[in-house]
Amino acid sequence: MSTRENKKKRKSSLLSGMFLAANLVVLIFLVLGYLAAYIPPDKYWIFAFAGLAFPYMVLVNIVFLTVWLLSRNKYVLFSLAALLLSWSRISGFFQFRGNDAAYIKESSIKVVSYNVRIFDRYQWESDKTSQNAEDLLALTKKLSPDILCLQEYHAGRKGKVKMEDSVFKYTGLRYRHIEYVKLKGQVKPYGIATFSRWPVVSSQTINFKGNTVNFCLINDIVCRGDTMRVFNIHLESIQLSNEDYLYVSDIANQAEDKALFTKNSRKIFFKFRKAFISRASQSREVAERIQNSPYPVIVCGDFNDTPSSYSYHQIAQSLDDSFKESGSGFGQTYAGIFPSFRIDYILHGQEFSSTGFQRTREPYSDHYPVSAVLNLREKEIPE
């Protein structure tokens, strides 16, 4: 073998080794991201960041898988095994195909969950809603819900616009439970609202410790003789400011100024960490109430966290995810710049089956509404 061939072989071997090392690093982060669902961020918060990076690590691993496959290298088995083992988590972000057509029967329940960003309050005119708020309301009418769970709800301008009447006008949902934020001894005009076609016979609120802005509504609703318990959840948000979003959108230029880059990066990092930690205890509290429910459960809301997160896993552990059951494509529900993930959910107890999960891509809020048709499974009658 010539010297040139030896050099070529060594160079190829070196590149292969570096590629393998990079692949192993990605696989390690993939494992950490998978484990994030089981490790409380209020104990070990670093795993929560790995969980946030999980879908990106999956995509990079697919690139490695493709390269190994094309080169017919045995290392393809590592990437393939990682992909197969994490498939249950991947399905929370993407579904190849689902039961897109809603199977509607007389006993069906159409459920819609929507973070409406306080109905675009800052664009309201003095005595009526803005066009954007009108579009939001018109969209709720188009979705034809039987149960409508709204996060970041706003009551409307006092004496001018009463938003609960507007919701009833557009949707025909007569029954409701609305809770408003209590801050520094004052009741603010924004909060969470659940609207129903059927009577709300019992209402409770879970107030999270140390947080007066985010909470959870619990409503018992009697529908056609059956009682179901509906949870409307808004977990702790990351609370990114306009300045933070500008930094993320212009991060390439920010990186040139190392001091500014470090300062802004640290600020955003600590906001994420605080939110991860807060959502851990919040999700456990909600999960306990779900487990103790005497009635079939429907869970809606803005979790502000992804399907690979601890908070999602806590709440969804005994429930079915309507996106996994009847959705298709990417499940992204957040319409903002960052993070661009599925953070809005419709979950349900095993007493229900879901069809026709939809994410409606309309730009009226920084979230997209999600909807699904739920049907009570037929009860088996013992012989």
CA distance 293 to 155: 29
Which pair of structure tokens corresponds to residue 9?
A: 């072989």
Whether 201 has a pLDDT exceeding 70, the answer reads yes
Q: Are 33 and 64 spatial neighbours (Cβ–Cβ below 8 Å)?
A: no
CA distance 150 to 341: 19
User: Residue 230's closest CA among 177, 174, 167?
Assistant: 177
Contacts 24+ apart (CB under 8 A), 24-28: 24/78, 26/57, 26/60, 26/61, 26/64, 27/61, 27/78, 27/79, 27/82
CA distance 85 to 309: 17
Whether 380 has a pLDDT exceeding 50, the answer reads no
The residue type found at 245 is Y
Convert the pLDDT of each residue in 86-144 to its tens digit.
888 999 999 987 555 666 777 899 999 999 999 877 665 556 677 888 999 999 999 99
Distance of CA 339 to the CA centre of its chain: 11
**Mean pLDDT, residues 315-331 taken together:** 94
CA distance 108 to 85: 35
* Per-residue pLDDT, 2: 58
Whether 14 has a pLDDT exceeding 70, the answer reads yes
Whether 255 has a pLDDT exceeding 90, the answer reads no
Q: Which domains does the chain have, with CATH numbers?
A: 3-90 (no CATH), 109-376 (3.60.10.10)
Whether 340 has a pLDDT exceeding 90, the answer reads no
Convert the pLDDT of each residue in 225-237 to its tens digit.
999 999 999 999 9
Residues whose CB falls within 8 Å of the CB of residue 111, separated by 6 or more in sequence, listed in order: 145, 146, 147, 149, 298, 300, 322, 346, 371, 372, 373, 374
**Mean pLDDT, residues 354-380 taken together:** 90
Q: Are 91 and 84 spatial neighbours (Cβ–Cβ below 8 Å)?
A: no
CA distance 140 to 147: 11
**Mean pLDDT, residues 8-16 taken together:** 64
Q: Are 369 and 112 spatial neighbours (Cβ–Cβ below 8 Å)?
A: yes
DSSP single-letter state for residue 239: -
Whether 252 has a pLDDT exceeding 90, the answer reads no
In degrees and rounded to multiples of 5, residue 209 shows phi and psi of -60, 130
Work out whether strand 344-348 and strand 226-234 pair parallel, antiparallel, or are unpaired.
unpaired
* Per-residue pLDDT, 6: 55
- Comparing 65-69, 89-93, 159-163, 181-185, which segment has the lowest mean pLDDT? 159-163
Q: Are 118 and 152 spatial neighbours (Cβ–Cβ below 8 Å)?
A: yes
Q: Which of 50-64, 122-136, 244-258 has the highest mean pLDDT?
A: 50-64
- At 382, the pLDDT band (50, 70, 90 cuts) reads very low
Percent of the chain with pLDDT over 90: 64
* Widest distance between CA atoms in the chain: 90
For every residue of 148-204, DSSP letters joined together read EEEEEEE--STTT--HHHHHHHHH---EEEEEEEEETTEEEEEEEEEEESS-EEEEE
Q: Are 380 and 127 spatial neighbours (Cβ–Cβ below 8 Å)?
A: no
Return the SS3 of 221: strand
Work out whether strand 329-330 and strand 352-359 pair parallel, antiparallel, or are unpaired.
unpaired
Convert the pLDDT of each residue in 163-184 to its tens digit.
999 999 999 999 999 999 998 8
